[in-house]
Amino acid sequence: MKRTLTLTAAVGLLCAGSGAAMADDLTLCWAAWDPANALVELSRDFEEQSGHTMSFEFVPWPNFADRMLNELNSGGQLCDLMIGDSQWIGGSAESGHYVQLNDFFDEQGIDMADFIPATVTGYAEWPKGTPNYWALPAFGDVVGWTYRRDWFERPELQEEFMATYGHELAAPETLEELMHIAEFFQGRDIDGTTVYGASIYTERGSEGITMGVTNVLYNYGFDYGSPDDPYAIEGIVNSPGAVEGLEFYRALYECCTPPGSSDWYMSENIDAYRSGQVAMQMNFAFIWPGVNADENVGGDRSGYFPNPAGPAGHYAQLGGQGISVVSYSDSQDAALEYIAWFAQPEVQERWWEMGGYSALRAVVEDPGFADSQPYAQTFLDSMAIVKDFWAEPAYADLLLAMQDRVHNYVVAGNGTAQEALDGLVEDWVEIFEDEGLR
């Protein structure tokens, strides 16, 4: 049962003198990745100030959704705080898994206008476009690209590339230019090693290929319904432009990726890039601090660029998550204290410095932000062009259908792009009808 909030000011409780009698043990649940390790360190300040003890349950990304959605759906009490994926917000709100935070935000003076608008819509709102908040934007993320700047800047390669394609070998601004670069490096000898054009998302089991292919589809005209009816998808999901975009992604996979990359997602792409196998990698922005610090590819050896534009638009797939209070928790007051602490500008500034991606505008709009890290400007540019997958309560069924249809065409080579997207429309219409949305 969702609890009604009648809370005193949580920030006022954040002091070392709050007393052992008031102390709670809180468990925060998230995915197992580098940002989670940074959050553990950041949270030590909360423990010292509040007297509460923080524990963490981190699950690898391929198993994260199954593990944590099962926990929520069973009414489990493992998690007091959940940093859940953006697509969960609809189902978690409607099923009562998360505490609605509007009253709490009002009491604490937490204003959603202070956060990057796309992260509020993507991570916090349900229904979308309404001021009903179920999370605080916690980790801004978006698909972008990393490239071997040191390879791109070799004069002999620049000269050859210009002669072949008629434009500079530089961070691509269009998908056509990205394809040229991937073709150019595919099978090329670099310092005695055969390298490949790009590592892209192809994973089938969870969400990987969907999170990859949408970065092309959006820019060829694919969309989630029409402005007048979000569930009217015929002729939009399977439009001629969307078909062309899906064909592009398959062509990129077939021509320009490493052998054996038929089921790759974040970790495999990171490994391929850091080991010097590829000239470019598609990946979420969370990896950039690790790339920058890497002894093999870090520093000036790497560069970063937003997802390139296509013939019908310029978008990138939104990632990232909001932090929510789980309604089944027996420590909701203490969990809300954590939310209030985490929302403070000085904490958000430290979060960015430690490798987290703050969504607070006071941090990302600071005049010095763009120069604070080599990838900071690319993060800003990327967050300005985001689009996200369905956040409907039935998102998991919608995602599974897209995973199967797209992977069967792009990787397995079955049928045509038109057939794949026509089949996806049929799948989604059936799901919408089952949900009473059509």
60-77 tens-digit pLDDT: 998 999 999 999 999 999
Indicate if 21 and 166 belong to the same structural domain. Answer: no
Residue at which a domain ends, from 317, 335, 364: 317
Indicate if 38 and 84 belong to the same structural domain. Answer: yes
Indicate if 152 and 73 belong to the same structural domain. Answer: no
Indicate if 52 and 42 belong to the same structural domain. Answer: yes
pLDDT at 13 over 60: no
Residue at which a domain ends, from 264, 292, 317: 317
pLDDT at 311 over 50: yes
343-359 confidence digits (pLDDT tens): 999 999 999 999 999 99
pLDDT at 94 over 90: yes
Indicate if 112 and 184 belong to the same structural domain. Answer: no
Indicate if 105 and 31 belong to the same structural domain. Answer: yes
Of the candidates 434, 362, 341, 331, the one whose C-alpha atom is nearest the C-alpha of residue 392 is 434
For the chain, the average pLDDT equals 94
Residue at which a domain ends, from 262, 288, 317: 317
- Domain of residue 255: give its range: 142-317
Indicate if 133 and 154 belong to the same structural domain. Answer: no
In a domain, 305, yes or no: yes
Q: What is the pLDDT of residue 7?
A: 34
- DSSP secondary structure, 69-87, as one string: HHHHHTT--S-SEEEEEGG
Q: How far apart are CA 393 and CA 408, in angstroms?
A: 25
Q: What is the pLDDT of residue 297?
A: 98
In a domain, 2, yes or no: no
Indicate if 89 and 73 belong to the same structural domain. Answer: yes
SS3 of 108-128: the string is HCCCHHHECHHHHHHHHECCC
Q: What is the pLDDT of residue 242?
A: 98
In a domain, 406, yes or no: no
Q: What is the dihedral of CA 165, 171, 174, 177, to 10 degrees?
A: 20
Q: What is the pLDDT of residue 62?
A: 86
Q: How far apart are CA 258 and CA 106, in angstroms?
A: 51
pLDDT at 14 over 80: no
In a domain, 136, yes or no: yes
Q: What is the pLDDT of residue 438?
A: 86
Indicate if 298 and 181 belong to the same structural domain. Answer: yes
Amino acid present at 242: A
Q: What is the pLDDT of residue 9?
A: 41
Q: Tell me if 2 sits within 8 A of 99, measured CB to CB.
A: yes
Four-residue CA torsion sign, 94, 99, 104, 108: negative
Mean pLDDT value across residues 397-407: 98
In a domain, 415, yes or no: no
Indicate if 297 and 323 belong to the same structural domain. Answer: no
174-201 confidence digits (pLDDT tens): 999 999 999 999 999 999 999 999 999 9
Indicate if 164 and 130 belong to the same structural domain. Answer: no
The CATH number that applies at residue 224 is 3.40.190.10
Helix (H) or strand (E) holding 188: none
| pTM given for the model | 0.94
Range in 9-18, 162-171, 277-286 the model is least confident about: 9-18
In a domain, 339, yes or no: yes
In a domain, 47, yes or no: yes
Q: Tokens standing for 135? A: 């999370």
Say how many domains are in the chain.
2
Indicate if 131 and 68 belong to the same structural domain. Answer: yes
Band of the pLDDT at 262, cuts 50, 70, 90? very high
In a domain, 402, yes or no: no
